[in-house]
Amino acid sequence: MTEFDYVIVGGGSAGCVLANRLTEDSNVNVCLLETGPADKTPLIHVPAMFAFLPETEYSYQYDTTPQKEFNEVTVTEGASNAVDSLGSSHSMPQSYQENRRGYQPRGRTLGGSSSVNGMVYIRGHKWDYDHWASLGNEGWSYDEVLPYFIKSEHNEAIQDEYHGKDGPLNVAELRHDNPFSRYFVEAGSKIYPENNDFNGSEQEGVGLYQVTQKNGKRCSAAVGYLNPIKDRKNLTILTDTIVDKVVFENLKAVSVKCKTKNLANEIFARKEVLLCGGAFGSPTILMRSGIGNESFLQSKGIDCLVNLKGVGENLQDHIDYITSHKVDSWELFGKPVKSLKFTLRAPFELIKYILASKGMWSSNLAEGGAFIKSDESLEVPDLQLHFTVAMVEDHGRADIWGNGFSCHVCLLRPKSVGTVKVASKDPDDDPIIDPNYLSHEDDMKVLIKGYKKMMEIMNTEPLKQFNNVRNPININDDKAIESAIRTRSDTIYHPVGTCKMGSDEMAVVDSNLRVKGVSGLRVIDASIMPTLIGGNTNAPAIMIAEKAADLIKNNAT
């Protein structure tokens, strides 16, 4: 029997934080379980190479269900035999129409999505956390969570009351000075205020993002929190471990059933099991463990232990639309071979990176950003822009010749809400993910406004001269913009909310992140967010784990 004080399920951002903070006490022993392999590939650590990560073993490659508000597409699948008029048999591809599916890549390695993301350091708006507190979540107001953001951070460039300088997560300025990112800020600042710190006193404005990097390399949660302490004697790390379910005795979590390198295993927890599987992993583990909507669990042949209807509900995500502009420039990224200038420049930039950790390979690609309002009467920004020094379409999977830049506009607080569910009792089966994008009519209205505001910046000098748009739309035709959004919009990788914190009947955890109806079990990751925050979600996930570590150490009751 293998027994620990705490078993952490998921070696992503939150899991790495907990492994570090809980093992600070040498009298406590911890086991960290991660589905994927260790984070050893240079595709993770050389920043710009993250563009090549999604379709590797270091990433889940989930698809959503067909989204009813997306356009229809033709799907070709398999083949069938058809006989012609002469009696000859021919293999014919089968095709059918269905609504377009979204793509949901997630990190599958130590560091989780912080090892495969765009490294943008954003916390969200003060309003978001005060809103959580107003919903009855004590201890989660902005003033109460700010100390945990500060505790987690070492900011190389900014030193004030909003930023930390001693934390494990290194935050830095970009080490690549791309003129097109400066053009974006120059154009945007003719319309909106320039902002040099989106995480300071004001979020609104246009500027360059700070990134989670150190010395030009990615600083994931694994790099910042786990690697410096992975040799602690009271920490055991098991990679390549697929978790099946949590086992209970008298409604107390006592162990985790899993497979390590395909060998059955059971890890026991003397004190608590801590689920850190993210917005898709944590609710599906709960469901397989018998915690969830009773009628749904029974339909999958799972005995219901606790009828907790909110498990897997309340899925919220940032829906995003991208405009791409083809520009023949040495300064912009393109796909190897498909872009002559990038192909010729890339080896020289790699030498620069190896010698000085600077240049194009240190870029996070999404270098420029903005937080703006779709309507000036709003209290806080409801739109976010990411300016990218490459043409990015279909999550980088589209084969595009040449090079150029892109700009994303995403809806920060969508009203559309979806679900995630298990497909079966088998932990190897992908979850059923339905974000229900654009199902609330207000989301489309705001995104149309967002597209127009984004293009206003794109059509302002010095960006205006680069107007070779790959998918041009008449900016005065709302129906055309709506059609483009239904055809090409998708996630910008911020799913949250499926084990939401709260006190209502759909809440899954309380304000101490304990799962309702059982003991010895908490959920600690972005799935506990009751509402989606206004910005990228990695820094908030780390904050949640920092706060949870203190709750656990203080044995909150």
- Which sign does the torsion angle of CA 348, 354, 356, 358 carry? positive
**One domain, residues 460 and 478:** yes
Give the structural domain span for 502: 2-58+105-167+219-315+496-553
Q: List, for residues 367-379, the tens digit of each pLDDT value.
A: 999 999 999 999 9
**One domain, residues 36 and 132:** yes
**One domain, residues 282 and 400:** no
d(CA 150, CA 162): 7
268: in domain: yes
**One domain, residues 470 and 505:** no
Instruction: Report the domain count for the chain.
Output: 2
- 119 assigned to a ligand binding site: yes
Please give the model's pTM, rounded to 2 decimal places: 0.95
**One domain, residues 199 and 223:** no
63: in domain: no
pLDDT at position 83? 54
**One domain, residues 341 and 401:** yes
pLDDT at position 86? 55
Q: List, for residues 377-388, the tens digit of each pLDDT value.
A: 999 999 999 999
Distances (CA, A) of 357 to 231, 243, 508, 531: 27, 38, 44, 38
382: in domain: yes
d(CA 135, CA 130): 9
**One domain, residues 186 and 200:** yes
pLDDT at position 311? 98
**One domain, residues 269 and 324:** no
- 118 assigned to a ligand binding site: yes
Domain boundary among 488, 508, 529: 488
32: in domain: yes
Q: List, for residues 420-442, the tens digit of each pLDDT value.
A: 999 999 999 999 999 999 999 99
CATH number at residue 247: 3.50.50.60
70: in domain: no
Q: Is 60 exceeded by the pLDDT of residue 300?
A: yes
- 215 assigned to a ligand binding site: no
CATH number at residue 188: 3.30.410.40
For β-strands 72-83 and 89-99, DSSP reports them as: antiparallel
Q: List, for residues 235-257, the tens digit of each pLDDT value.
A: 999 999 999 999 999 999 999 99
pLDDT at position 88? 59
**One domain, residues 535 and 393:** no
148 three-class SS = helix
Domain boundary among 447, 472, 488: 488
Span 321-335, mean pLDDT? 94
341: in domain: yes
- Which residues does 556 contact at the CB level (< 8 Å), separation at least 6? 512
Q: List, for residues 455-480, the tens digit of each pLDDT value.
A: 999 999 999 999 899 999 999 999 99
Task: Give the single-character DSSP code of 209.
Answer: P
d(CA 542, CA 221): 8
**One domain, residues 237 and 182:** no
**One domain, residues 308 and 366:** no
Q: List, for residues 259-271, the tens digit of each pLDDT value.
A: 998 899 999 999 9
**One domain, residues 324 and 308:** no
50: in domain: yes
Domain boundary among 431, 456, 488: 488
Catalytic residues: 494
Q: Is 50 exceeded by the pLDDT of residue 210?
A: yes
Q: DSSP string of 357-393?
A: S-SGGG--SEEEEEEE-SSTT-SS--EEEEEESB---
d(CA 104, CA 116): 13
64: in domain: no
